[in-house]
């Protein structure tokens, strides 16, 4: 099977059948050589990231409905021409070959004609709609309902800047794991001539300027470093973990936050790490083994109340399941999540907050976090929780932030990060203290 057919079948599973991109790609790439795997992954994710605009271009040169497989071939072909630097002739020829390879030879002439028309006119693209919501939806490949919601929440200019930044997956961010130090990591990267910048919000974050295959890096395999976003590190610092604390990480897989809290306390905290799904709990155990972390991994449903645990923990972290719409590297999420699904997710978040709040002892900390930018899941969720629970008060977040970010806090206890203003994923956190 050609790599383009692999990309086509993978893309079809995601766009037409609702499969998760990361899981589908993982299976599709099994057995491929590294170079081929990188190409397939890039083709699929780049197509997904620009899907609505690609469809807009295709629609300008076609009439009526297009068979799903032919539509997929055209999507991949246009992606190669507009975003991957593939020469026009090669993209056209390979698209025709792909149509024949999947048994659609009679339609290869149609594919050839559409592709050549698009290539001839790529410097004169079809105009975008004048209406702002429709324009931004197509230009940045976000569903209209999301664009409308963001414009209502943040304004048109802010929304466009945010959506533009979301098209960039960003660089890999790593950190040291105790007893390895940030100073040692900095020296190791310099010795390897790997360019980096330190985090603006969390100094432990090292943003790498070029790709690093961590699976082949001894620093990674030996458990001295791990991949983690700067925003995820910030959440752990906001919790203020200290030696002797008993900490609950409710939705803990794949384990990065539990591991960082263990690192910050030099292994001196007792950490309980819960995960709903058994296979993800096993993944977390392997992560902890690699990093030398001691934590109590349990398969637990955080929405189910456990009265025997009431008042047991000094700190509880709820990195809640969410729409994932703040993560640039997951373009499929924006198409899979409907308005109704986001409301359903918000309901689960509410259950998690209400169930786990009772586990916090008086004077203890409750952190609520998501990797999304929807106020329904973020600010509105945290404020509603505070209104329901008079035994909690607003926690102070300024201590874990640079001074120039203090003005960004909502009511002192909430923070929303954005890719275009902070160089991070879209991320939210709220800090509450039990009276």
Q: Mind telling me the catalytic residues?
A: 371
The contacts found for 96-102 with CB under 8 angstroms, 24 or more apart, are 97/2, 97/4, 98/2, 98/4, 98/5, 98/8, 98/73, 99/70, 99/73, 101/2, 101/4, 101/5, 102/5, 102/8, 102/69, 102/73
Among 202, 211, 210, smallest CA distance to 176 is for 202
Find, among 25, 52, 216, the residue nearest to 137 by Cα. Answer: 52
Q: Are 219 and 185 in contact (CB under 8 A)?
A: yes
Pairing of strands 392-394, 427-434: antiparallel
196 vs 211: CA distance, rounded Å: 11
Helix (H) or strand (E) holding 127: none
The secondary structure of residue 201, as a DSSP letter, is S
Alpha-carbon dihedral angle through residues 158, 160, 162, 163, given to the nearest 10 degrees: 160
Angle between helices 278-291 and 256-264 (to 10 degrees): 30
With tokens 């930044």, the residue in question is 165
Of residues 113, 169, 139, the one with CA closest to residue 55: 139
């Amino acid at each position: 099977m050609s790599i383009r057919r692999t990309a086509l079948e993978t893309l079809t599973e995601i766009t037409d059948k609702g499969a998760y991109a990361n899981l589908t790609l993982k299976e599709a790439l099994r057995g491929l050589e590294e170079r081929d795997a990188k190409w397939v992954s890039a083709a699929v994710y780049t197509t997904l990231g620009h899907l609505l605009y690609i469809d807009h271009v295709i629609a300008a040169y076609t009439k009526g409905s297009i068979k799903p497989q032919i539509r997929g071939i055209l999507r991949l072909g246009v992606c190669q021409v507009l975003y991957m630097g593939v020469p026009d002739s090669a993209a056209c020829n390979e698209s025709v070959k792909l149509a024949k390879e999947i048994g659609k030879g009679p339609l290869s002439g149609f594919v050839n004609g559409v592709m050549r028309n698009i290539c001839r006119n790529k410097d004169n693209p079809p105009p975008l709609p004048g209406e702002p919501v429709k324009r931004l939806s197509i230009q940045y490949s976000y569903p209209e309902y999301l664009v409308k919601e963001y414009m209502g929440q943040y304004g048109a200019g802010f929304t466009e800047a945010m959506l533009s930044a979301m098209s960039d997956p960003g660089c890999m961010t790593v950190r040291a794991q105790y007893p390895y130090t940030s100073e040692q990591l900095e020296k190791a990267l310099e010795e390897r001539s790997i360019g980096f910048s330190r985090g603006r919000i969390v100094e432990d974050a090292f943003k790498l300027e070029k790709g690093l295959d961590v699976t082949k890096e001894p620093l990674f395999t030996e458990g001295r470093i791990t991949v983690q976003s700067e925003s995820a590190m910030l959440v752990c610092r906001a919790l203020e973990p200290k030696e002797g604390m008993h900490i609950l990480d409710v939705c803990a897989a794949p384990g990065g936050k539990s591991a960082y809290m263990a690192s910050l306390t030099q292994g001196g905290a007792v950490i309980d790490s819960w995960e709903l799904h058994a296979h993800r709990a096993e993944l977390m155990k392997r992560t902890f083994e690699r990093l030398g972390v001691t934590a109590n991994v349990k398969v637990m449903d955080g929405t189910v109340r456990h009265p025997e645990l009431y008042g047991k923990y000094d700190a509880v972290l709820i990195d809640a399941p969410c729409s994932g719409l703040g993560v640039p590297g997951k373009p499929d999420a924006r198409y899979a999540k409907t308005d109704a699904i986001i409301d359903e997710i918000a309901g689960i978040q509410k259950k998690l907050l209400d169930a786990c709040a009772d586990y916090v002892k008086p004077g203890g900390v409750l952190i609520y976090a998501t990797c999304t930018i929807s106020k329904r899941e973020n600010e509105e969720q945290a404020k509603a929780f505070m209104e329901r629970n008079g035994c909690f008060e607003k926690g102070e977040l300024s201590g874990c932030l640079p001074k120039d970010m203090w003005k960004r806090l909502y009511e002192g206890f909430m923070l929303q990060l954005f890719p275009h203003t902070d160089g991070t994923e879209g991320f939210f956190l709220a800090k509450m203290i039990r009276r």
